[in-house]
Amino acid sequence: GAALILLGVSVVFRRPLLTLFSGNSAQFVEVASNLMALVLFGQLITSLNTVSTAFLHCRDCFNIPKVLALIVTLTITIVVFLADSLSIYQYAILTFVMLLIEMVVQYVVAIRKGFRYAPCILLKDPETIRMFRVFLPTVFGSGVYQLTLMTDSMISSTLGEGNISILSYSGAISGMINTVIAGNIILYIYPKIA
């Protein structure tokens, strides 16, 4: 529910958000805002796919999600290579449609394997409270980290040529260190949450 609310707010206020977080031209804001809705809904589809993937993994069906992802990736790659000139809008639409097809097929397979979903959030349940106490700081920390990366890129875009590359490399090094430290902690904490 909260993810859908954030998605809706992001789609509705995408132009002001892009203007606020990018020091770029009006043309950039126009193109990015047109693509942002597709990208955000694509991320929602990807999140929904992870639910059905987890269910299929619990049913010992490990190959179905991988084969579907491979088909989607190969289809997109083939279309990109065969198309004479593919605009960024056409590429975004192609990716969105392929993600949608993957989701539909994967959910059909999952439903045939017994998948059923009934939302049930017990806010006063001690396990739910404990899960949120562990999960929310993790989400907050990840959000702050992404915000610092975006701020670095925004600042570097106003500093001149080559600075985005320098910050990108430093972000990659920082991300590598973050992955080594936080990744190991997450490997321990996430199974406990689940």
- Which tens digits make up the pLDDT trace of 17-41? 777 766 667 777 788 888 888 888 8
Mapped onto helix, strand or coil, the DSSP state of residue 113 is coil
Q: Containing H/E element for 193?
A: helix 163-193
This prediction has a pTM of: 0.64
Query: What is the spatial distance between Cα 55 and Cα 111, in angstroms, rounded to a whole number?
Result: 10
C-alpha neighbours within 13 Å on the C-beta side of residue 11: 14
Q: What is the pLDDT of residues 44-101, one digit of tens each?
A: 898 889 889 989 988 888 899 999 999 999 999 999 889 888 888 888 899 999 999 9
Q: For 117, phi and psi rounded to 5 degrees?
A: -130, 125
Q: What is the mean pLDDT of the chain?
A: 79
Which residues are CB-contacts of 52 (< 8 A; sequence separation ≥ 6)? 65, 103, 106, 107, 109, 110, 115
**Contact predicate 68/56, CB 8 Å:** no
Average pLDDT over residues 111-138: 81
